[in-house]
Chain A
Amino acid sequence: MTLLKVSGLSFSYGSGPLIADMSFELKAGDFMCVLGPNGSGKSTLLRLLTGFTKAGGGSVRIGGVEAAQAEAGRLAKLAAYVPSEISTPYDFSVGETVLLGRIARAGLWRNYSAEDMAAAGLAMRETGITALSGRSINTLSSGERQLVFIAQALAQEARLLLLDEPTSHLDLKYKSEIMALLAGLARRGLAVAAVLHEPGLARLGCNKALLLGRGGAYSFGPAAEMLSAARLSAVYGLPENSPLLP
């Protein structure tokens, strides 16, 4: 089942093209990593997919719905997005934050329903943060915070999950935990796309890879093929025998 279909997507910030005529598809069960050097448009791509940033041309269909034309409330039921960094000056509790994932489904005038509570509870169990429920999100470590916002995204019950650098600033243990969590979600039938900084992490469960180069160049395919030393060294401009490449 195709959950994300991108065709002919293009975007530029004025100068040269950042994304040019990009097309790819994700099906239920796919876990795709997005790799590329700084400034190659990885984060911009995720925002283009959800329509938060308006594309210059092309089409993005999420669950069969054209993202650029969909209302925010409808889109939130189809795709959930975890930004690389969220800060708020206010001390929302972990439980409140996860429940905010339900606002597209909860109507006005009433409190959260039993169904909303159950979805938030399940999302917190899946991410292992149930014990943190009463804590303020501003007192958590970066790894715990990342899990809270993944749980919030899961509470949206969308089939497509997009994450911008979910593992940056985290220690190795959290990195592997979060990659295992995302791989598990893909096995459960979600389509997951994550921007990663380190190609090595993609070996932890990704079956698809999207490599972005300069000036809108890209390549998409099975992870095993895309993550070859030859391709990665070309994309990052490193020698093929660099110890940084997996």
Chain B
Amino acid sequence: MGKNKFLLLFAALAAACLFSLAAGPAGWSNLDVILNLRLPRTLAALAVGAGLGLAGAIFQGVLKNPLSDPYILGTSSGATAAAVFCFLAGVERTSPVFFVAVFAGAFGATFLSYWLARLAGRLSDAALVLAGVAVSAFLSALVMLTLSAARERSFSLFYFVLGGLYSAQPGVLAASSAIIAVCAGIAMARWRALDAMAMGEEKAYHLGAAPGRERVIFFTLACAATSAAVAIGGTIGFVGLMTPHIVRLLTRPSARTLIPASALGGAALLAAADATGRSLFSPSEIPAGVIMALAGAPFFMWLLWRRSGGVDR
């Protein structure tokens, strides 16, 4: 039964890839365009989508909170802010310093949101979302302030902040893909601890998974995957939020299947979103981040409505 569901995911992924390779004014006619422009871009969409889907599944499990994802918790904003500062300081996008800085930004922002939510008392779903909103709003303002001040380079950076998959350098793409693959591997190996955390901290402790340690491990994995995705595509929201919810309709909620399925599903979702952005108003392009926000924001509202007693339980 599980195998068939995964076949379905692979079929969706293949369809999204084909769509992404075909989308654009030239259609299937120009092999050169397909291989040299669309293929790298499709690969970038797959890597970013997989990283964000993975991070979303990890956050939703370790925080026992179905409303969490790297965008809402401020992880993406932290990574984006760090990336923008690196660009302005002249740090090469392929250098290890860049990746370390972006990871530090992601990790710092995530723990800040978590800590703020904890300060508010019980770690409720809503408190975490509110803390994340505050942290991301502040970081985004910081980024905008910096961009306004550094006028001459701001146009390309503005597109980076908006979130899109334009020119993925092969070096960045390879490094990010490797980071995401390693994170996915470790998260899959620790699926039982993630399931225990999804039962709540108190239960996890008594089942034998030390909550403090597991939180640091899983936050590290999710932040690394997010920062690898941000390094390629900037701030793209809602992939991490939507993917695990869609994937749970197909597979069991256990992290054992949810982790690999969310990575595959996120890759398919973002490849399709990016291709949609290229075809809707062709030849002009809509950034993938905008397409995801158009689809994701209503999805988030539906989730909120359902969690606040709409149909839940």
Is there contact, CB below 8 Å, between A92 and B253? yes
Is there contact, CB below 8 Å, between A52 and B206? yes
For A156, give the chain B residue with the smallest CB separation: B207
B64: chain A residues at CB < 8 Å are 88-89
Is there contact, CB below 8 Å, between A76 and B254? no
CA of A81 to CA of B205, assembled, Å: 10
CA of A50 to CA of B66, assembled, Å: 29
Residue in B65, B208, B307, B313 whose beta carbon sits within 8 Å of that of A104 in the complex: B208
A152: chain B residues at CB < 8 Å are 207
CA of A76 to CA of B208, assembled, Å: 5
- Which of A12-20, A95-103, A182-190 forms part of the interface with chain B? A95-103
Is there contact, CB below 8 Å, between A52 and B66? no
Given contacts A83-B202, A88-B64, A96 and B252 within 8 Å (CB-CB): yes
Given contacts A75-B208, A100-B195, A90 and B203 within 8 Å (CB-CB): no
Given contacts A83-B203, A103-B193, A90 and B209 within 8 Å (CB-CB): no
**A187 CB, nearest partner CB in chain B, Å:** 24
Q: Is A80 part of the contact surface with B, judged by Cβ < 8 Å?
A: yes
A72: chain B residues at CB < 8 Å are 205-206, 208-210
Is there contact, CB below 8 Å, between B313 and A138? yes
Q: Is B198 part of the contact surface with A, judged by Cβ < 8 Å?
A: yes
Per-position 1/0 for A44-82, Cβ under 8 A of B? 000100101000000000000000000111111101110
**B128 CB, nearest partner CB in chain A, Å:** 13
Is there contact, CB below 8 Å, between B253 and A76? no
Per-position 1/0 for A2-33, Cβ under 8 A of B? 00000000000000000000000000000000
Our count of residue pairs bridging A and B at CB distance below 8 angstroms stands at 81
B252: chain A residues at CB < 8 Å are 92-93, 96
Within 8 A of A (CB), among B183-209: 189-190, 192-193, 195-196, 198-200, 202-203, 205-209
Is there contact, CB below 8 Å, between A108 and B66? no
Is there contact, CB below 8 Å, between B196 and A90? no
CA of A88 to CA of B199, assembled, Å: 5
Is there contact, CB below 8 Å, between B206 and A50? yes
For B312, give the chain A residue with the smallest CB separation: A89
CA of A65 to CA of B59, assembled, Å: 34
Is there contact, CB below 8 Å, between A76 and B206? yes
A104: chain B residues at CB < 8 Å are 207-208
CA of A109 to CA of B253, assembled, Å: 19
Instruction: Report, as a range, how many residues of chain A touch the other chain.
Output: 20 to 34
**B167 CB, nearest partner CB in chain A, Å:** 39
Is there contact, CB below 8 Å, between A80 and B196? no
Q: Is B248 part of the contact surface with A, judged by Cβ < 8 Å?
A: yes
Q: Is A204 part of the contact surface with B, judged by Cβ < 8 Å?
A: no
Q: Is A91 part of the contact surface with B, judged by Cβ < 8 Å?
A: yes
Per-position 1/0 for A98-120, Cβ under 8 A of B? 00110110101100000000000
For B204, give the chain A residue with the smallest CB separation: A72
Is there contact, CB below 8 Å, between A52 and B202? yes
**A112 CB, nearest partner CB in chain B, Å:** 9
B253: chain A residues at CB < 8 Å are 90-92
CA of A101 to CA of B209, assembled, Å: 11
Residue in A86, A92, A138 whose beta carbon sits within 8 Å of that of B195 in the complex: A92
Is there contact, CB below 8 Å, between A90 and B66? yes
Residue in B192, B210, B313 whose beta carbon sits within 8 Å of that of A100 in the complex: B192
Interface centre among B192, B205, B207 (most CB of A within 10 A): B207
For B212, give the chain A residue with the smallest CB separation: A72
Within 8 A of A (CB), among B11-31: none
Is there contact, CB below 8 Å, between A106 and B192? yes
Per-position 1/0 for A123-167, Cβ under 8 A of B? 000000000000000100000000000001000100000000000
14 extra interface residue pairs, beta carbon distance < 8 Å, beyond A52-B205, A88-B198, A90-B198: A50-B206, A71-B210, A73-B208, A73-B209, A76-B206, A83-B200, A89-B307, A90-B66, A92-B253, A96-B195, A96-B252, A100-B207, A103-B196, A108-B190
What are 7 A-B contacts with C-beta separation under 8 Å? A73-B209, A77-B208, A86-B200, A88-B64, A92-B253, A97-B199, A138-B313
Please list the 5 inter-chain residue pairs (A to B) with the smallest Cβ-Cβ separation, ordered nearest first: A104-B208, A76-B208, A90-B253, A72-B210, A81-B206
